[in-house]
C-alpha cells in the first residue's frame, strides 16, 4: 500500500477549487482555455514539479507530470462545464497527484499524472484526450468552434508559449482514472466505491433550421416559418419516435439552443441547437441518428425551412481492462469490504480515448443526491478519501 496523505490530498483539492470558484456552495467555473483553466494548469504544473515529476504541456494544453522511464498513468481533467462542481475531473487529477507523490516518497512504483484539456467539450467531445489518442485529428479539431464562434485553433494558442510535443503514449503501461459517479446509483445504495465495467458511447452534433424572421404582431400563424416552433415539434417528435428503439438507460439531450434574434416581438428565423445522445450499443446510436436526421428533414420540409448539420462528433462504447479492474476491485474490497459494486459509466470520460492506446480502468465515488454538472455537486470527504485509498491500492499492485 502506498501511504497516501489524506489531509494533503484534501488541501490540494480545495486549493484547485479556489481557482474559478463561483456560484453557491462549492461551484466552479473553469471551462477549457479560460483564464481560470490556464491558472489552474500552471498551479498543477508547479505541484507536479514539487512532487518530483516533470511537468509537460502538449500542443493542446494536456498537462502531464512525468516520471523517468515507464510508468502507470493516472489522472482525469481540470477544466469544468460552464457551470460545474469542484470534483468533476479535479478529483481524479488531485488523487493521481497524491498517489504519485506518496509513491515517490515511499520508493513505490513510478506513477505519472495527467490533466487532459477540454474534457467537458467546449469545442468537441473530450477534445484533449481525443486528439492525444488519435480519435480526433488535430486539423479537424482546429476547425471546431465553441458556441460563441471561437475556433479551437485560436483557443489553444493560450498554451503556445508552454507547449512541447505530444507525449509518446508507449511510455505508459496503463491508465487509471478516479471520478465522481455523477449519478444516483451509489448514493442510493449507500455503497462507497464503484468499479467501472464499461463506458457508454456518445454522438453529438449541432442542427440548424432556418425559416423566415418576421414581425410577431402582423405575421399570421399559418404563414410563419418559426424556428422555435420547428425545434419544439422536432423535440416532441423524436421523444415519440425513439420509444421503439431506446432502453431505460439510453439518454438524449438538447442542452444548448441559440435562437435568432431571440426577441419577444420577432418571429425567430433561425435556430441552432445541440443534439446529443448516449447508449452502450453502437447499433442503437446509429438507429437514433437515422431517426434524428429523418425527423429533422421531415419537419424542415413541412415548414418550408432549410436544414443543416454541424460535424458529427462521438465516441464508441468501451470496456475496461480486466487486469486493472481486478486491481481496483481488490483495493475496493480492502478499503470498503462488501460495500462496493461493479457498474457501467453513463458519463463520458477521458478513459474512453485512452483505451485506444493502453489498458484502462476507472473507479467511482458517490455523488451526493446524484447531482453533477451543477454548482451543487459534492461528495462526502470520507468517500473521497476512500476512493484515494482504493486508487493507491491499485497502483501498488502494478
Among 120, 191, 204, 378, binds ligand GLV (CB under 6 A): 120
What is the footprint of ligand GLV within residues 121-160 (CB under 6 A)?
A: none
Query: In sequence order, what are the residues at sequence separation of 6 or more whose Cβ sits closer than 8 angstroms to the Cβ of residue 375?
Result: 22, 23, 24, 25, 26, 27, 28, 83, 84, 85
CB of 89 to Mn ion, least distance (A): 4
Residue 347 makes contact with ligand GLV by CB under 6 A: yes
313 within 8 A of 203, measured Cβ to Cβ: yes
Reading phi first (left if > 0) and then psi (alpha if -120 to 50, else beta), residue 60 is in alpha
CB of 255 closer than 8 Å to CB of 202:
no
Helix (H) or strand (E) holding 208: strand 201-210
User: What mask, x for binding Mn ion by CB under 5 A, covers residues 203 to 232?
Assistant: ------------------------------
Burial label, 204 (beta-carbon count in 10 A; 0-12, 13-18, 19+): buried
Binding mask 304-343 for ligand GLV (x = CB under 6 A): ----------------------------------------
Q: Does 37 bind Mn ion (CB under 5 A)?
A: no
Pattern 33-52, ligand GLV, x by CB under 6 A: --------------------
Q: How far is the CB of 352 from ligand GLV (least distance, A)?
A: 10
| By CB under 6 A, residue 19 contacts ligand GLV | no
When asked if residue 348 is in the footprint of ligand GLV (CB under 6 A), the reply is yes
Give the shortest CB-115-to-ligand GLV separation in angstroms: 14
Place of cell 433561425: 270
Whose CA is closest to 347, among 253, 243, 284, 239?
253
Q: Which of residues 210 and 378 has its CB atom nearest to Mn ion in the complex?
A: 378
| From candidates 37, 88, 204, 378, binder to Mn ion by CB under 5 A | 88
Residues in the chain: 398
Phi, psi of 342 (to 5 degrees): -85, 140
* Residue 89 lies near Mn ion (rule: CB under 5 A): yes
60 forms part of the interface with ligand GLV (CB under 6 A): no
Q: Which residues bind ligand GLV (CB under 6 A)?
A: 120, 347-348
Amino acid at each position: 500500500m502506498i501511504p497516501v496523505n489524506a489531509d494533503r490530498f484534501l488541501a490540494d483539492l480545495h486549493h484547485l477549487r479556489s481557482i474559478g470558484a463561483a456560484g453557491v456552495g462549492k461551484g466552479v467555473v473553469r471551462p477549457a482555455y479560460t483564464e481560470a483553466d490556464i491558472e489552474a494548469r500552471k498551479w498543477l504544473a508547479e505541484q507536479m514539479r514539487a512532487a518530483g515529476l516533470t511537468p509537460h504541456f502538449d500542443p493542446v494544453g494536456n498537462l502531464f507530470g512525468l516520471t523517468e522511464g515507464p510508468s502507470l498513468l493516472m489522472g482525469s481533467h481540470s477544466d469544468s462545464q460552464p457551470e460545474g462542481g469542484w470534483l468533476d475531473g479535479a478529483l481524479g487529477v488531485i488523487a493521481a497527484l497524491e498517489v504519485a507523490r506518496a509513491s515517490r516518497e515511499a520508493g513505490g512504483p513510478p506513477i505519472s499524472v495527467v490533466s487532459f484539456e477540454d474534457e467537458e467539450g467546449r469545442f468537441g467531445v473530450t477534445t484533449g484526450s481525443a486528439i492525444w489518442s488519435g480519435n480526433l485529428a488535430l486539423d479537424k479539431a482546429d476547425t471546431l468552434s465553441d458556441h460563441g464562434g471561437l475556433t479551437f485553433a485560436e483557443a489553444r494558442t493560450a498554451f503556445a508559449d508552454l507547449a512541447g510535443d505530444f507525449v509518446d503514449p508507449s511510455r505508459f503501461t496503463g491508465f487509471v482514472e478516479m471520478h465522481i459517479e455523477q449519478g444516483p446509483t451509489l448514493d442510493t445504495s449507500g455503497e462507497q466505491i464503484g468499479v467501472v465495467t464499461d463506458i457508454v458511447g456518445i454522438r453529438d452534433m449541432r442542427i440548424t433550421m432556418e425559416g423566415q424572421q418576421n414581425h410577431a404582431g402582423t405575421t399570421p400563424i399559418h404563414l410563419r416559418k418559426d424556428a422555435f416552433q420547428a425545434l419544439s415539434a422536432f423535440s416532441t417528435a423524436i421523444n415519440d419516435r425513439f420509444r421503439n428503439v431506446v432502453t431505460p438507460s439510453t439518454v438524449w439531450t438538447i442542452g444548448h439552443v441559440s435562437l435568432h434574434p431571440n426577441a419577444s416581438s420577432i418571429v425567430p428565423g433561425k435556430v441552432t441547437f445541440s443534439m446529443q445522445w448516449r447508449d452502450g450499443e453502437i447499433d442503437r446510436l446509429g438507429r437514433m441518428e437515422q431517426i434524428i436526421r429523418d425527423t429533422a428533414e421531415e419537419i424542415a420540409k413541412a415548414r418550408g425551412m432549410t436544414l443543416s448539420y454541424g460535424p458529427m462528433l462521438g465516441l464508441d462504447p468501451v470496456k475496461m481492462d480486466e487486469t486493472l479492474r481486478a486491481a481496483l476491485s481488490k483495493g475496493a474490497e480492502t478499503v470498503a469490504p462488501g460495500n462496493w459494486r461493479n457498474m457501467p459509466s453513463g458519463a463520458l470520460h477521458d478513459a474512453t480515448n485512452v483505451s485506444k492506446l493502453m489498458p484502462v480502468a476507472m473507479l467511482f465515488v458517490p455523488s451526493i443526491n446524484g447531482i453533477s454538472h451543477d454548482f451543487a455537486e459534492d461528495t462526502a470527504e470520507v468517500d473521497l478519501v476512500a476512493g484515494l485509498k482504493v486508487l493507491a491500492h491499485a497502483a501498488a499492485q502494478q
